[in-house]
Amino acid sequence: MRTALLLPAALAVAYCLTGPAPLAAREIFVNNVTGSPNYDGLEPEAGTVSGPLRSLEHALRIVRKGDRIVMADTGVPYYESVTLATADHCGRPNVPFVIEGGGAILDGSRPVPPEFWRHYAGKIYQLPLRKRGPYQMLFLDGKPLPRVQFSEDQPTKLPPLHWGYYKGSIYLRLEDNKLPEDYNLAVAWEPVGITLYHVHDVVIANLTVQGFQLDGVNAHDKVDQCVLGGLVCRGNGRSGIAVAGSSRANIEGCLLGDNGAAQLWVEGQTIVNVNDSELLSNTAQPVMQRDGRLTINPPLQPPQDGPAPSGETPTPPEGDDSGAAADDNASAF
């Protein structure tokens, strides 16, 4: 899988070699440690005037068509949620608009202050959520905790360090002699990591997208000539990657796992090609397909004792955790 991470860069180079790049195309650098909103983003290192921007969102505000955003992997996650939805976020047939992640992490989770937890019963604690919905994730030390399906009268049946969701609240059972302040807990907070809408000739590469309430990456509608390559999309409430509407996307050398309802979500009149990628069945079915054309190479192998690789699964209503964990030791973390 590590060799597959180089594929998106090769694709971008191939794009550039097939036609002359316009003079306006630039590299915009982002560094969430040394960057500044006062810099122009045209240099990777901080200087007097020129230097990297501090956020991906800032970079997307100043880019032009066909530019290339280069993110620095600083070891500190980028806590952002961004949207590509304008002509400036598009490329040309031979010169794509590129977000090069460089191995960085885009994270939608937020810590839960201990005082936000309410004692429910015994070792069960309740966390009321302002952002409600059936898709959610709870993290301990940056990794998802196992989720259990239950109804209103069953929170007390949770095993230790397991959680469930019911009518706007998360319920978590703690270990003996522990309190919420003894844990580093976080919830998925931002809705989607990267949303694409009505854009074309886009490459997003070499980025980990995690901790979002709905999807890591969502090609919402009217997305064309989109390459998602070398991405790790993990620990998101619904799916790692969702492709919907009339979008067309190529998923190359990606790892999708530990997501809530499906690793890959496909719906609408989409055309999706998945090549040399891993779609795990550890927490949910690898694919949830509701219409659209989907090609996976090499084909998925059905798990021994897990969810089917693909199939029609209804959207879970409140209290229904149909994307419950499968018995599979593989993980994207």
Domain boundary, last residue among 131, 161, 188: 188
Residue 322 lies in a domain: no
- Answer yes or no: do 99 and 81 share one domain: yes
Backbone torsions φ then ψ of 322, nearest 5 degrees: -70, -15
* Model pLDDT for residues 190-227, shown as the tens digit of each residue: 999 999 999 999 999 999 999 999 999 999 999 999 99
Residue bearing the bigger pLDDT, 156 or 224? 224
Residue 84 lies in a domain: yes
- Answer yes or no: do 97 and 116 share one domain: no
Residue 315 lies in a domain: no
Q: Whole-prediction pTM value?
A: 0.86
- Answer yes or no: do 205 and 104 share one domain: yes
Tell me what pLDDT residue 304 has.
Answer: 58
- Answer yes or no: do 183 and 197 share one domain: no
Residue 92 tokens, joined: 């040309």
Residue 248 lies in a domain: yes
Residues of 296-329 as b/e, b for ≥16 C-beta within 10 angstroms? beeebeebeebbebbeebeebeeeebbbbbbebe
- Answer yes or no: do 91 and 236 share one domain: yes
Residue 170 lies in a domain: yes
- Answer yes or no: do 104 and 196 share one domain: yes
Give 13's pLDDT tier (boundaries 50, 70, 90). very low
Examine the pLDDT at 183 and tell me if it is beyond 80. Answer: yes
- Answer yes or no: do 182 and 199 share one domain: no
Question: What CATH number corresponds to the domain at position 115?
Answer: 2.60.40.1180
* Model pLDDT for residues 293-329, shown as the tens digit of each residue: 999 999 998 755 544 444 443 344 344 333 333 345 6
- Answer yes or no: do 149 and 256 share one domain: no
Residue-number span of the structural domain to which 88 is assigned: 3-108+190-297
- Answer yes or no: do 84 and 205 share one domain: yes
Q: What are the E-state strand segments in 41-123?
A: 68-71, 82-84, 97-107, 109-111, 118-121
- Answer yes or no: do 82 and 200 share one domain: yes
Residue 317 lies in a domain: no
Tell me what pLDDT residue 117 has.
Answer: 98
CB contact set of 332 (below 8 Å; sequence gap of 6+): 232, 233, 234, 235, 255, 256, 257, 258, 280, 282
CB contact set of 184 (below 8 Å; sequence gap of 6+): 111, 140, 141, 142
Examine the pLDDT at 1 and tell me if it is beyond 90. Answer: no
Tell me what pLDDT residue 130 has.
Answer: 78
- Answer yes or no: do 199 and 177 share one domain: no
Residue 319 lies in a domain: no
- Answer yes or no: do 56 and 199 share one domain: yes
Domain boundary, last residue among 160, 188, 216: 188
The count of domains in the chain is 2
Tell me what pLDDT residue 157 has.
Answer: 84
Residue 308 lies in a domain: no
Q: Position 177: which residue type?
A: N
Domain boundary, last residue among 138, 154, 188: 188
